[in-house]
Amino acid sequence: MLQSISLYKQLANHKLFNKTINFDLKRIKLVLKKLSHPEKKLNNVINFLGSSGKFTTLHSVKCFIEANKQTTTAYISPSLRDIKERFWMGDRYLTHQEIKKSITLITKLKVPLTIFEALTVIYIINASRQDTDYHLVEAGALFAKDSTNVFDFPLAQVIVNINKQHLNFLKKKTLDEVVYQKVGFLSNFTQIYVGKQRPNVLTKIKKNLKSNKSKINYPNSWKLLKKNKHFFYRDRKNKIKLNTKNIHSKGLLENLCNAIKIALDLKIDTKVIEKTIPSISFVGRFQYLKKGKIKNKLYNSEQIMLDGAHAEADAKNLANYLRNIKVPKYAVWAMMKNKEPDLFIKQFKGILRKIITIPIENEKNCVSAKDLEIIAKKNQFNVDKAYNFNEAIRKITSKDKKLIICIGSLYNVGNILNKN
C-alpha cells in the first residue's frame, strides 16, 4: 500500500504530469509516436465508455473470456486499493517495479501529460509486450479526446449507461453534449454495443450514430427477464439463467446482459457463460464486508455494505435494492466535486434513517462534509457530519439491528477497503 501511494506521489509531484484534467489527444499521440507506436501492437481492443457501468461490464466480459481459456489485458480506473489494480496483464497485475520503470521511461521523453494520460501510456507500453487474445480498455470521463481513444481499429466499442456526469469538463453543460462527447467519435470500422439507456438518451445516441458505418447492437437485441424470482438473459437464439448471489441490482444485471451479448458474439459457448456467472462479483459495488478490522468493530447485529455509486442512475439502482431490506439503514456519504450530489441523495428519500457525511481522505477535489450536510438537510434527511470514516462509524454503531451503507464515491470505498 505504501509503495502504491509513493508511485501516485511520484506522478502527482513530477513537473511533467498535470493533476488538472485537460482533454487533448496531441500530447499522448506525441508520446506514443516517440515510443514507436506501441498502441498499434494491440490487437482485439475493446473500448468501454459511458457514465455508469464501464467497470462492471468490462469485468464481466473479462471473466467470460478467461473462462473460455483465453487471455486479456485490462485497463481500469480508478483503482480501489492499489495503483497496480489498474493494469491487468494476462494472468497478473503489473508490479510496482514495472510501473516505476514505465514512469521513468515516460519522463525521459519530456512531454507534459495529465496523470490519466501517463497512466494510459503505462498500460499501453506494458500491454504491447503481452501475447494476449484481447485488450479491454476503460475510458475516462469522456471519449472524444480521452487518452484511451488512440486505437485506430478497435474490435468493439461498448457504450454503457450515459447520464449527466462530468458536466464540469464541458462548455455546453447539457445531456446532448455529454452524449456527443462520448458517442460522436466512435470508430466507423467496428462493432458497437449500446447498453440499456433511458429512452431520451437512447434517442440521442441513435442520432449521433446515424451516419456511423459500424455494426451497431442496440439494447433491443436482448432482454432481461424475471420469472419466479429468477433472472434470465434472452435473445432470439439464447436463454441464459443469471444464477448469481453477488449481483443485487437491475442496473448491474443489465450490464451483465450486455457483457453476455458481447461474449456470445466472441463465440463463447453458452455453457461456459452459464458456468461463469455465479463467480462474477464486483469489488466496491453492493459489496458486503463479512470480515476484517471494520467488521470486527461492529456488533453482530450490524451489517456494512460498500457501494461506489456516484450518479443518479446508480443511486436509483441502489435505492431500489435497499427498499427491500427490512432493517433500519444508515449511510456514510462522501463524494467528489465533479458529481451531482443533490440529484444523487434525493434517490434515498424515505429509505435512510440517518446520513453521516465525511470528506474523502487524501482527496482535495472532494465535497466537504459540511457542504454534503447542507445538501442532505435541504432534502430533509436526518444528517450529521464527521471528520473521517472512523468517527462516522462511532456515531452510528450500536447493538440495534441495522445496515450501514457507504455511498457516493469509489475513492472513498477504496480508502475503506484499505482500512479493513
Give the pLDDT confidence of 96-141 residue by residue, as tens digits: 999 999 999 999 999 999 999 999 999 999 999 999 999 999 998 8
Task: Please name the amino acid found at residue 182.
Answer: K
pLDDT for 412 beyond 60: yes
Question: Could you tell me which residues are beta bridge partners of residue 385?
Answer: 357
pLDDT score recorded for residue 89: 98
Task: Tell me the per-residue pLDDT of 7-23, one tens digit each, with 9 for 90 and over.
Answer: 777 777 777 787 667 78
Q: Which domains does the chain have, with CATH numbers?
A: 2-279 (3.40.1190.10), 287-419 (3.90.190.20)
- Please state, in angstroms and rounded to a whole number, the distance separating the CA atoms of residues 398 and 386: 17
Q: Is 178 left (phi over 0), alpha (psi -120 to 50) or beta?
A: alpha
Question: Could you tell me the three cell numbers for 367?
Answer: 465535497
- Distance CA(82)–CA(193), nearest Å, equals 30
Banded pLDDT at 349 (limits 50, 70, 90) = very high
3 falls in which pLDDT band (50, 70, 90)? low
Q: In angstroms, rounded to a whole number, what is the distance separating the alpha carbons of residues 195 and 219?
A: 6
Beta bridge partners of 30: none
The DSSP secondary-structure symbol of 90 reads S
Sequential DSSP letters for 338-368? TS-HHHHHHTTTTT-SEEEE-PPTT-TTB--
Beta-bridged to residue 404, according to DSSP, are: 304, 330
pLDDT of residue 167 exceeding 80, the answer is no
Determine the pLDDT at residue 6. 66
Of residues 215 and 5, the one with the higher pLDDT is 215
Task: Report pLDDT for 135.
Answer: 98
Residue indicated by cell numbers 456488533: 299
39, 151 Cβ separation under 8 angstroms: yes
What nine digits make up the cell of 220?
A: 433491443
Write down the number of H helices and E strands in the chain: 15, 18
Compute the distance between CA of residue 296 and CA of residue 420 in angstroms, rounded to an integer: 9
Q: What CA–CA distances, in Å, run from 366 to 59, 166, 180, 246, 358? A: 27, 14, 27, 29, 10
pLDDT at res. 366: 93
- Measured between alpha carbons, how far is 209 from 204 in angstroms, rounded to an integer? 9
**Mean pLDDT highest for which of 163-167, 382-386, 410-414?**
382-386
With CA atoms as reference, report the closest residue to 313 among 129, 56, 80.
56
Cis peptide bond N-terminal to 112, omega within 30: no
- The reported pLDDT for the residue numbered 4 is 61
Burial class, 28, CB count within 10 angstroms (exposed 0-12 / middle 13-18 / buried 19+): buried
Average pLDDT, stretch 194-204? 95
User: Rounded CA gap, 196 and 208, in Å?
Assistant: 16
Weakest mean pLDDT among 9-13, 42-46, 206-210, 375-379: 9-13
Mean pLDDT confidence for 338-349: 92
Spatial separation of the C-alpha atoms in residues 222 and 200, rounded to whole Å: 19
Judged by DSSP in three states, 96 sits in helix
Name the residue with cell 487471455: 71
CB atoms within 10 A of CB 294: 19
235: enclosing H helix or E strand = none
Is the pLDDT reported for residue 240 higher than 70?
yes
Q: What is the pLDDT of residue 166?
A: 72
Give the closest residue to 16 by CA, choosing from 129, 104, 147: 104
Lowest mean pLDDT among 6-15, 248-257, 307-316, 338-347: 6-15
Give the rounded percent of residues in the chain with a pLDDT score beyond 90. 81
Alpha helices in 50-174 (DSSP H): 54-67, 96-108, 115-127
**C-alpha gyration radius of the chain:** 21
Say what the pLDDT of residue 353 is. 97
Sign of torsion, CA 161 167 170 171? Answer: positive
Higher-pLDDT residue of 271, 144: 271
Confidence (pLDDT) at 95: 94
The CA-atom distances, in angstroms, between 398 and each of 139, 291, 392 are: 42, 18, 12
